[in-house]
């Protein structure tokens, strides 16, 4: 079959049947997966991919996995994760993923809630988590490990090597060569395909039930507006339990037949991105924000000539991006200028970031600040915002080529119906959606299901509106929209995204609901802020010590001035403080997908928040810090609260932006 002429009617109705279909199309002629091991890229063809899945699936059946049972997978992104997920589905059971950095309480909750009977754990660290919880998880009868390092002396009968399971499967296949395909043929598109646990911004994560029809209808719809091809390359490095990564690494790759690459380790992902130079890139806002910070810091540390070229070329890129956003044809002079800027800087910078061949770049999971969005378009990277929820099998909207509005999350994909529930006079209301991707409900949580799905519509909890051009604009979570005592409404997320477009800031929490003015708690980017301090001969010992330095406060104050200049007067930040630690998912301050858990933060940092709305200039703090190894320590420090000066006091600072600022309007 010619892939170029394939239509959605030709495509099978389940993920394992898609794998069989691709193996028949491509056999050993195309690479399906590629993993870097010991510095060398190891390739897996589509036929080999199928054989791994077949053998592991039959091995699971040999061990007693029955249709309808659940199996959990925990670890970093590896081909074995994909083999396991598809093998479970081929056995007509249901897989689910667990974030590999989850703490014991999270792991215990998800495994118990899902009633998993088997777990695939990557290495000793993950195996130890399960064994520590063994008494609390009586249903788990097998723990299958993929990396035996450190496990040679473990004698627990619950443990079995991944490749031993494959060997058992091969033996079963030799006895019954038709069993695997018979199992796959018995799968119905209405069958449950996967349980995807939500990020848990308001409490324990919920198990979202998705069928094959939910998944494949949304993948086909996304492919209509952002086409993927068998020749495409993708690097899988954001956690696979997240629906965004599932969609691209598993669902869409099976649908379109492109190659998925896995980095050697999570820490080498950016270096491996440079080696692969993929044509498809999907990542959360934190990666795009981190890359923009990295570029800006390296620019500040570069030689005079390189800084001069950067300062000269970037405004040209910004103006070029604005032509695109405004849907205007650039004049010939600007075309020449951009071509020169591209030759002088952008081409080399894109190559250094690993984006030399990128055709489609997407960001999702949370809003990306317009400043960051505009920055990448200035470099010539076709970055698109996507929007959706786990409950609609991934994506509902996406920017179309030639129709990009960085304030929006794009236009609904063909199979998604999106509306605004009870809009106010300005058209703002709760975003609701329906369509073939709509999930089947939450596992063991009928109450939450009934609250989310009303009259066939998913109530997202996001506040938004449609532009006259049909773009969906997400303002914030409905419950997170804030009102000052004066009645003025503002979006904390919008302000936070602007603050984070700074090389020295990694996170910010904006406050002000039912208060007289807006304040914020800011977390430094320890690496970049520390480098700045060293360059300016400022000595420091720890994160908390660095965040208390007056010169660092002055540095961040200049960034807050930059943000305030772009905000309405009533939404401008009046006070800020630098937190003594970064917000951390292990401390329950962030979700595993890096979203702020505002309710928890409001409770944990009640003293700091009260200080921001008092007359205090310093605040004595005593708190317990938990380290990654589980140890704790008591931290005592004085938090400085910085009050912003009147806007006129910063006039000279703002004037320094000069000609180029007026040219690009930023």
The CA-based dihedral angle spanning residues 507, 282, 268, 582, taken in that order and rounded to the nearest 10 degrees:
10
Contact 234, 259 (CB under 8 A): yes
Distance CA 53, CA 59 (A): 10
Per-residue confidence band for 663, with pLDDT thresholds at 50, 70 and 90:
very low
- What would the DSSP string read from start to end of 161-188? EHHHHHHHHHHHHHH-TTHHHHHHHT--
Query: Per-residue pLDDT tens for 464-505?
Result: 999 998 999 888 888 888 999 998 888 898 899 889 888 899
Q: What are phi and psi of 14, to 5 degrees?
A: -145, 165
Chain-wide mean pLDDT for the chain?
Answer: 89
Distance CA 122, CA 148 (A): 9
pLDDT (average), residues 378-383:
92
Task: Tell me how many degrees the CA angle 5-10-16 measures, rounded to the nearest 5.
Answer: 120
Q: Is the pLDDT of residue 457 over 90?
A: yes
What is the share, in percent, of the chain residues with pLDDT greater than 70? Answer: 94
Q: What is the 3-state secondary structure (H, E, C) of 82-120?
A: HHHHHHHHHCCCEEEEECCCCCHHHHHHHHHHHCEEEEE
Fold of 12-187+243-256: Rossmann fold (3.40.50)
Nearest to 547 by CA among 628, 619, 597, 456: 619
From residue 353, alpha-carbon distances to 261, 270, 311 in Å are 17, 8, 19
Distance CA 59, CA 79 (A): 17
Instruction: Please tell me the least confidently modeled range out of 77-81, 400-404, 646-650.
Output: 646-650
**Per-residue confidence (pLDDT) for residue 441, from 0 to 100:** 94
Nearest to 421 by CA among 460, 474, 473: 460
Q: Is the pLDDT of residue 90 over 60?
A: yes
Query: Per-residue pLDDT tens for 180-235?
Result: 999 999 999 999 999 999 866 556 789 999 999 999 999 999 999 999 999 999 99
Please name every residue paired with 74 in a beta bridge, in sequence order, or none if there are none. Answer: 98, 121
Q: Which CATH architecture has domain 481-664?
A: 2-Layer Sandwich (3.30)
Sorted by where each begins, the domain ranges of the chain are: 12-187+243-256, 481-664
**Letter string b/e over residues 585-598, b meaning 16 or more CB atoms within 10 A of that residue's CB:** bebbbbbbbbbbbb
**Per-residue confidence (pLDDT) for residue 208, from 0 to 100:** 95
Helix (H) / strand (E) element for 353: namely: helix 347-353
Task: Tell me how many degrees the CA angle 353-356-357 measures, rounded to the nearest 5.
Answer: 130
**Model-level pTM?**
0.84
Task: List, edge to edge, every strand of the sheet that includes 159-161.
Answer: 159-161, 142-145, 116-121, 70-74, 94-98, 192-197, 207-211
**Per-residue confidence (pLDDT) for residue 630, from 0 to 100:** 59
Per-residue confidence band for 557, with pLDDT thresholds at 50, 70 and 90:
very high
Looking only at the bridges linking them, the beta strands covering 116-121 and 142-145 are parallel
């Amino acid at each position: 079959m010619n892939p170029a002429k394939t239509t959605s009617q030709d495509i099978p109705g389940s993920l394992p049947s898609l794998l069989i279909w691709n193996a028949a199309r491509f056999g050993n002629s195309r690479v399906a997966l590629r993993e870097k091991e010991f510095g060398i890229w190891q390739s897996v063809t589509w036929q080999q991919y199928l054989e791994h899945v077949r053998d592991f699936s039959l091995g699971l059946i040999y061990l007693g996995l029955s249709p309808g049972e659940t199996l959990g997978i925990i670890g970093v992104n590896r081909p074995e994760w994909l083999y396991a997920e598809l093998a479970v589905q081929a056995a007509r059971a249901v897989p689910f993923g667990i974030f590999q950095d989850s703490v014991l309480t999270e792991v215990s909750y998800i495994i118990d809630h899902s009633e998993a009977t088997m777990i695939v754990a990557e290495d000793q660290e993950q195996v130890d988590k399960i064994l520590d919880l063994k008494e609390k998880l009586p249903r788990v009868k097998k723990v299958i490990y993929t990396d035996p390092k450190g496990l040679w002396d473990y004698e627990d009968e619950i443990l079995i090597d991944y490749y031993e399971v494959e060997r058992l499967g091969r033996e079963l296949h030799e006895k019954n060569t038709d069993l695997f395909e018979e199992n796959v043929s018995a799968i119905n598109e209405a069958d449950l395909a996967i349980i995807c646990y939500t990020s848990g911004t308001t409490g324990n994560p919920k198990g979202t039930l998705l069928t094959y029809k939910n998944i494949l209808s949304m993948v086909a719809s996304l492919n209509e507006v952002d086409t993927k091809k068998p020749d495409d390359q993708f690097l899988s490095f954001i956690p696979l339990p997240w629906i965004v990564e599932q969609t691209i690494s598993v669902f869409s790759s099976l649908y379109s037949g492109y190659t998925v690459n896995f980095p050697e380790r999570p820490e080498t992902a950016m270096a491996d991105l440079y080696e692969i130079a993929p044509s498809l890139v999907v990542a959360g806002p934190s990666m795009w924000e981190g890359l923009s910070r990295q570029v800006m810091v390296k620019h500040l540390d570069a030689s005079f000539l390189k800084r001069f070229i950067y300062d000269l070329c970037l405004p040209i890129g910004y103006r070029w991006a604005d032509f695109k956003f405004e849907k205007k044809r650039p004049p010939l002079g600007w075309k020449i200028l951009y071509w020169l800027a591209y030759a002088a800087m952008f081409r080399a910078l894109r190559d250094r970031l690993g984006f030399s061949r990128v055709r489609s770049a997407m960001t999702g999971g949370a809003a990306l600040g317009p400043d960051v969005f505009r920055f990448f378009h200035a470099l010539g990277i076709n970055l698109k915002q996507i929007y959706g929820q786990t409950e609609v099998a991934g994506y509902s909207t996406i920017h179309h080529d030639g129709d990009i509005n960085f304030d929006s999350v794009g236009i609904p994909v063909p199979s998604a119906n999106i509306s605004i529930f009870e809009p106010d006079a300005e058209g703002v209301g709760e975003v609701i959606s329906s369509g073939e991707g709509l999930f089947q409900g939450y596992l063991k949580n009928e109450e939450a299901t009934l609250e989310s799905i009303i009259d066939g519509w998913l109530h997202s909890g996001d506040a938004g509106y449609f532009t006259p051009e049909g773009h969906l604009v997400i303002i914030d979570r409905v419950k997170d929209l804030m009102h000052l005592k004066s009645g003025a409404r503002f979006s904390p997320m919008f302000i936070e995204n602007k603050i984070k477009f700074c090389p020295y800031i990694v996170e910010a929490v904006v406050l002000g609901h039912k208060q007289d003015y807006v304040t914020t708690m800011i977390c430094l980017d320890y690496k970049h802020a520390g480098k700045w301090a060293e360059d300016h001969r400022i000595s420091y010992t720890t994160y908390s010590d660095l965040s208390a330095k007056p010169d660092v406060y002055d540095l961040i104050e200049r960034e807050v001035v930059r943000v305030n200049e772009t905000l309405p007067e009533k939404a401008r930040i009046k006070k800020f403080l630098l937190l003594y630690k970064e917000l951390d998912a292990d401390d329950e301050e962030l979700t595993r997908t890096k979203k702020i858990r505002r309710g928890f933060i409001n409770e944990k940092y009640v003293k700091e928040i009260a200080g921001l709305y008092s007359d205090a200039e310093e605040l004595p703090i005593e708190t317990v810090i938990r380290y990654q190894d589980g140890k704790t320590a008591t931290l005592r420090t004085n938090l400085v609260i910085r009050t912003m000066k009147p806007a006129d006091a910063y006039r000279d600072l703002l004037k320094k932006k000069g000609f180029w600022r007026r040219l690009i309007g930023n």
